[in-house]
Amino acid sequence: MRTPKYAILAAALAVGLVSGSAFAQAKIKIGAIYSLSGPAAPFGVPERDTAEILAAKFNKEGGIKGQQIELVVCDDMTNPTEAARCATKLIRQDGVVAIVGSTTGSGTLALAPIAMSNKVPVVAPVGTIPVTSKENAFWPWVFRSAPTDTIIIGAIMERGVFKPKRQTIAILYQEDAYGEAGMKQAAALSKDKNVQIVASVAAPLNAIDLTAAATNIRNANPDVVLLQTSAPALGATFVRAARQVGIKAPIIGSGSLNQRPFIDAAGPAGDGILVVSMGNWDDPSEKQKELGKIIVAAGKTPKGYAELIGSTGVLGVFEAIRRTDGPITGQKIRDQLETICNFEKTYMDGKLCYSKDQHEGVFEDTLITVEIKNGKFRTVRD
C-alpha cells in the first residue's frame, strides 16, 4: 500500500517541528530591556554592549551546561510604558526565562508586575529605592545588580555632605522615581544630622536649560549641593548652569554620574565634582581591568559605571542558571538567585549576595569616591 503524499508531507512537517523544537530548547533565552535611546541611553547602550559581549564569551566557552545563551534585546526608549511593552513581548513572543533591566528605576517598576504575573525573574541595574521594597507584590521576582540609593545616598552624605561647617544643603533632582526617592532619602538623613535643606528643585530628564534652577539654588546660599540625577546630560546641564550663575558651594553627584559622557558633556564645569560610585575606568582595580580587556577586545570602549552593573546582572543570571537542575524555568532561576551569596565571580569590587530575605545584592563594599580633575576621574583615597 502506497503512503499518500499528504501523509508523507505531514510526517515531514512533524519531523521539522520536532527538530525545530529541539533546536529552540538548545538555547536559553534571556530578555534584556535597556534604554538604547532617550536620556538614559548613555547607560543603556554600554549595559547592552557588555551583556552581549559576556553572552558571546560564555557561548564561545560552551555556554551554560552545554546550552547556548540567546540575549533578546528590547529598547525601552527611557520610557516606562515602553519598558512594560518590552517585557510583554519578550515573555509572550520570545519566551525568555529571565530579564535583565530596565536601565531606569521607572522602567523597572513598570515592567515588574508583568514579569511577576508570568513568573519571570528580573535583575535590575538600578539604584531606585522602591524597586526592591517588600511592599511591592512583585518583590519576590525582582533583584538588584547595583547598590540601592539607600546605600549610595548614605555614602554620599557621609563622605561629601556631613563635613565640619556644612550646615545647609540644596538638592537638584530629576523628576522620576529615581530622583524623588533619592531626594527623600537625602532629606531624611539631613534631618537626622540637623543639616537644613534650603532648596529642593526638580528638573525633567530632558531639560536643556537649568539656569533658573541654578539661580534658585545660588540664592539659597547652601554650603553644599547634591545633584541627584542618573542622566549625564541633565547632570552636565546643571553643573554648567551652576558655574554660569556663580554657585560656589561644592557639588556632590549621584553615583550614576561616574561615567565618561558626564565628563564630556560637563566640560571644564565638571572639575571638582565629587561622585560616590562603583569603579573608575581612569584608575581601575584589577577586576575592573579584566572586564576592560574583554570589552576592548570586542571593539568597545569602557565608559563608566554601567558596564559594572550591567555585567553583574547578567553574570548573576548565568550563575543562577548554572545552579538549576532539569528544565530551566523562571521559577527555578528565581529560586537559585536567592542562593547566590559571597559570589566573587563578577568584575566589581565586593561580593554579590542575595538571600530569601533580601534582593539588594550589592553593598557598600563596592563603593569608592572619585573626583573630576582635568577631565578625568581621580579616586579619592583617605
End-to-end alpha-carbon separation of the chain, Å? 89
Q: pTM to 2 decimals?
A: 0.86
Nearest CA to 186 out of 135, 223, 225, 131 is that of 225
| Paired strand residues for 335 | none
Q: Is the dihedral of CA 52, 54, 56, 59 positive or negative?
A: negative
What residues pair up with 202 in beta bridges, in sequence order? 173
pLDDT at site 92: 98
CA angle 173, 192, 132 (to 5 degrees): 55
Confidence at residue 230, expressed as pLDDT on a 0 to 100 scale: 87
| Cα gap 197→167, rounded to integer Å | 9
Residue 45 contacts residue 302 (beta carbons within 8 Å) = no
In this prediction, the residues of the chain whose per-residue pLDDT falls under 70 are 1-26, 382
Q: Residue 68 pairs with which residues in a beta bridge?
A: 27
Torsion over CA of 349, 355, 359 and 360, rounded to 10 degrees? -30
Q: How, if at all, do strands 98-101 and 224-228 pair?
A: unpaired
Angle in degrees, CA 148, 149, 151, rounded to 5: 75
- The widest CA-to-CA distance across the chain, in whole angstroms, is 99
Q: How far apart are CA 276 and CA 254, in angstroms?
A: 7
For 143, the grid coordinates are 533583584
106, with CB counted inside 10 A (0-12, 13-18, 19+), is buried
Report the alpha-carbon distance of residue 50 to residue 56 in Å, rounded: 10
| pLDDT score at 11 | 41
Is the CB of residue 214 less than 8 Å from the CB of residue 189?
no
Residue 170 identity (one-letter amino acid): A
